[in-house]
Structure 1
């Protein structure tokens, strides 16, 4: 069905072929009037395209355009300095100083130059060729870099598999070590359990034997068992103690070294990296970026080495501090031991003083009992050694323990106080004994004191103790 024709709204005699925003739909005659009439110069007229409802803007030369500041004037001048179109009023008011650089487009020989048009078109054709080449190159680069991206992803996956394989091997070794420790603990448990069961069974069997001997009144067998029971019990305890020290359970702990792990993760970032490969750039910016990244990585590695050295020095300092602490502890222990030794020596010195005082009192008692011996105390006894000890054996008819004397004299020369001074004598060992008791112990001390003073005494003659002819004791003294 044919569309309804629109009539011109000015003359109403023609079909509308254009449209004015002020007057409405226009025919051809009314459009021509709009082009030539000064009253219509400010009207905006558009023509309808064939078979199109939407209007299009009428095409005009630049000299037919109206000035934005003066709508009644046309822009017929071009200012080269300011590169702007001017009307006459703008030219006289705002650009009088640009007179030599202003062109009147209506009066100048401004015409269409075919060569220039062709030159401009050739420039556009060259530009379109460059655009087409760039598009084709971009298409080719797209495919190439797609393959490159796929390759990089594949290499990244391979690297991930390598790292994962290495980590799996490391963790596998750790897991194997943990299983080995666990198996050792299981074996230790089995051995301890087996030994404990054997010892328990042995104890039950021995107890059963003892009960059987008691029930059957087998005193002889019970006696034989009792002779070796303590030793067997001691051996069993020693065996258990040995097992306790040798068969120990080993604890299993898993601890991550967070510092090293952090360094590993940081180093993994340097194992591979993604970087942009810039093509077609000749300003050196990409090279500067790569150099900067390399310098940053170098600085980071240097800082890592410094940090590692600092940690090593810190560990050495800690070891030195611990060593000094141990030495200080040892010195403190030595001081404590020295103090204990000093106290012990003081106690021994006090005991020696007490012994000397007691010996002095005993000497005074002896002198008081035998005052006639004082003037005879001269060194007549040869030098030697004496050993006094208490024996659990009895002698002859006595039932009490005895005090045993052992005097040892080496070969020597008699002194001036001896009845035969200067004569040599043969060394020998002499033994004697006293019965225990107050008198026997007192006489023992007297003989030891006389021996230390080098005084001559005889033992065992007529059952007496005689010191240079003076009888010190009338009791029983016997030679061995």
Structure 2
């Protein structure tokens, strides 16, 4: 059983999660996580009465002598000694000194009773002297094969109160192992039910086995809950993405519709003004002709008065009078009409008021303004836009005032299409739903099927100095450069452009090749151990609580040491340099706030345990990791 157990022990089980090295004098916390004594001393702040587990964040009370007073984990300590000896002889025996004589002779055996490596001379002495009678001495080849695994004498824990006394009894009343002196002084009978440890060992093992069963059952439930939470998170993300796409579609459709309505309005204004301008030119020509006739009649009359005889004046008087009456009367009526026209407020707004399209724009603007006012009202939630007709002023035409024949406008919006509804005789206008995918030309169809491919989807005008993104959507260069400076995504399809930048706090990343570690599913290659280190610090302006303190962390993860694994570790380095791997927030496992947490890039923090245990085997993990990095622009 010991032989099988040692074969199942992984390097991860014998590694301190603080220094990431083999345990040195491991201490056991209340949460059954173990760490090196020196590591815990550096981890705990002076004066602390508790130590927070670096793995699960559970508190363990410290005694007066601090970390040194925590229980020694003799189980792990014995495993480290046994497996450490095996590893030494598996690598090379040339550098292993003899523990007995400290000489330079090559070691050939190991005494499993003394736990010492021995050279050939010391082996002979060991087998001769009476003091070593009964010691089990095995060759290095036997040690390599694991034939005597579990046969070595293990270090037995001694009593914390009575130095040197081995704990060979068990107090059922207090549930702790005790030494012989404790049975007399601290756990006396009959107040305490004390029995030999060997007598109660099987009962304790049976109870532990039941606990394992209960823990496994709870673990299965927890795994199912985690999977359910993962599914819920994916559903939320999908729902968010779909909602964002619907918003983009609504905005695109509305902007396209309003732009086209504006173009129609300007065309109507241009037609109206051209007609008025043509009429004004004709009036100008008539006035110019009258001006010429007035001038010539005046000049003729002045000339005949100064140079003509009385008979010549008398002869032309009737014609002069007739011309005067005709010209002056016509001039008077023309001047009055022009003055009346100029007294009217013939400006841009009067011209627009004669346009049905302008009335529609005003109504839409009024609906949006109503929404904005509702949104800014204190202590009130935004209410949906009423479907009552929005009041508007009647259209005004030049020279007369009358009500427009255009009926009221209604503005409604649903989750998938934006609909503009006008009462008769204006036709109903409905924008079509058009899904946009990477590679589309970026065109939008309006209600009458017009193709707006030639327009920039940002400024809604003709594209100038075109710039195409990897997703094939094209925009004005100035427009898209400005948009990308705020968010590195295509405005049409949300495809990542370039690489995103995160808010990861300062830290460092390093990795090493672990040739002796085998990941389930990748037994034909070693492993890559990736390590992350973040010290405590102060949150910056892009963190949840700028200026507040945050707790650092140390994390590690594993990748297979194959071609794909080596590529992914380089991609992870780029993501780390772009501050995308971690962020500052609340831990979903411990509930700790203002701490360094993972940031949506999945890591395998365990060698084994499968997908639910954040370990291997997990056949689709490398593909998912590559996709998650690509979603952040790391390709």
Q: Which has the higher contact order (CA 8 A, sep 6+)?
A: 2
- Higher gyration radius (CA): 1
Structure (1/2) with the larger helix percentage: 1
Smaller-chain TM-score range? 0.3 to 0.5
Question: Structure 1 length as normaliser, TM-score?
Answer: 0.38
Question: Structure 2 length as normaliser, TM-score?
Answer: 0.31
